Amino acid sequence: MNQDRLEQQTAAIATLEEQARQRTATLIARGQRLIGRALPLPKILFDLRGQTAGQVRIDGRGRGTIRYNLALLLRHGEEFLGRTVPHEVAHYVTFLQHGHGIRPHGPEWSQIVLALGGDAERCHRYDTDGLRARNTRWFSYHCRCGEQRLSSIRHNRIARGTRYRCRLCGEFLRSGTGSQTGA
């Protein structure tokens, strides 16, 4: 790739990243007006890979990070700015207003995403051809009801001390033997 083309590509990436940052800040300001209080600006990263378009993380101290998938932003530019950015900002605003006790795409989030000008779709429909999705490992856990399969994410949380109850019997889940890999 020649130097001019590389510089053009680098400038295009920087422009789209800046547009996503500005759109995020604008929507957070709108979210502040919606819930009637100041909101801290989250850290914004463009490090998400695979087929996920965006993600919000809140650390133990309540500091937020919004992660965007740069490959999808580059492929879908304006649509990404109009759909994914409001979607993720709505998660951030909803968390700061309601905390952990709500469903991620529940009525509280739906109300906020619509007020921010987004849509209440849970998943994007972007072309993800050529973007690799991660294989998820599944682990067996047990309760009174029988076997429950938990993803590696929940399995790792359990390893760090989190406890999960079965939704049916209420018993704490206990690890079983072995694991399986699946898509």
Is residue 73 within 8 A of residue 20, CB to CB? The reply is yes
Q: What is the CA radius of gyration of the chain?
A: 19
CA–CA distance, 69 with 48 (Å, rounded to integer) = 4
Q: Catalytic residue at 108? A: no
Q: Return the exposure string of 70-82: e unless at least 16 CB atoms fall within 10 Å of the residue's CB, then b.
A: bbbbebbeeebbe
Per annotation, catalytic residue among 7, 78, 79, 88: 88
DSSP code for 52: -
Find where tokens 């019997």 sit: 169
CA–CA distance, 118 with 14 (Å, rounded to integer) = 24
CA–CA distance, 31 with 41 (Å, rounded to integer) = 11
Task: Give the phi and the psi of residue 123 in degrees, each rounded to 5.
Answer: -125, 150
In this structure, how many other beta carbons lie within 10 angstroms of the beta carbon of residue 118? 20
CA–CA distance, 160 with 30 (Å, rounded to integer) = 37
List the catalytic residues: 88
